[in-house]
């Protein structure tokens, strides 16, 4: 009996140590995600200042865009509680160097993404302001957020939710 309790105590110590190591690794990963996001912005800004427009293939190696929906999620997460209008979201995607202008009607596509995210309960309309054919409503991120807006944890959570929705 004593030997069994001793083994359990040893396992409990090992578990506590393993949890502490995991927490430290996750903290360091989050710091790296933030540094990577900042470095991507720096590279994009310097490319514009140098009036150097890299070829799409080179740009893709530097900046992983993901899809439009994932990029919209990241921009809305980064905007925080102030939210974004559809036009501001398009501008934010441009600043992220997402090829939003490759879409024939980018704002219509962004509206479709926003409506889908609203239906998924990931965003909400904080201010309704639609008139004269323009949508100046403010959309806020209300979905889960795990650290930096484009963190690996957020990417995994988004992919998991999307997969569950398609398997319904």
Q: How confident is the model at residue 139 (pLDDT cuts 50, 70, 90)?
A: very high
Q: Is 77 left (phi over 0), alpha (psi -120 to 50) or beta?
A: alpha
- Residue 147: which of 28, 58, 12 has the closest Cα? 28
Our CA dihedral for 55, 57, 63, 65, rounded to 10 degrees, sits at 110
CA dihedral sign, ordered 30, 34, 37, 42: negative
Q: What is the pLDDT of residues 117-138, one digit of tens each?
A: 999 999 999 887 766 666 678 9
Fold of 65-166: Arc Repressor Mutant, subunit A (1.10.10)
Q: Among 36-45, 64-73, 93-102, 107-116, name the one with the lowest average pLDDT.
A: 36-45
Residue entry with tokens 């998991």: 160
- Rounded distance, CA 67 to CA 53, Å? 21
Tell me if 71 sits within 8 A of 33, measured CB to CB. no
Q: How confident is the model at residue 154 (pLDDT cuts 50, 70, 90)?
A: low
Q: What is the pLDDT of residues 60-78, one digit of tens each?
A: 444 555 789 988 988 898 8
Q: What is the pLDDT of residues 36-52, one digit of tens each?
A: 766 766 776 777 677 65
Token pair for residue 105?
């009607």
Q: Give backbone dihedrals phi and psi of 41, rounded to 5 degrees, phi first.
A: -65, -40
Our CA dihedral for 52, 56, 62, 67, rounded to 10 degrees, sits at 130
């Amino acid at each position: 009996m004593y030997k069994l309790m001793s083994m359990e105590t040893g396992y409990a110590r090992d578990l506590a140590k393993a949890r502490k190591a995991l927490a430290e690794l996750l903290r360091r990963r989050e710091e790296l995600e933030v540094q990577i996001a900042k470095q991507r912005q720096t590279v994009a800004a310097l490319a514009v200042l140098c009036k150097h427009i890299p070829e799409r293939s080179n740009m893709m190696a530097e900046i992983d865009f993901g899809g439009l929906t994932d990029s919209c999620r990241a921009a809305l997460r980064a905007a925080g509680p102030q939210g974004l209008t559809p036009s501001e979201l398009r501008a934010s995607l441009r600043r992220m160097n997402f090829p939003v202008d490759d879409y024939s009607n980018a704002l219509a596509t962004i509206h479709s993404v926003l409506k889908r995210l609203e239906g998924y309960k990931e965003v909400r309309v904080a201010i309704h302001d639609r008139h004269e054919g323009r949508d100046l409503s403010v959309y806020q991120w209300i979905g889960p957020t795990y650290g930096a807006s484009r963190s690996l944890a957020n990417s995994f959570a988004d992919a998991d939710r999307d997969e569950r929705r398609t398997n319904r």
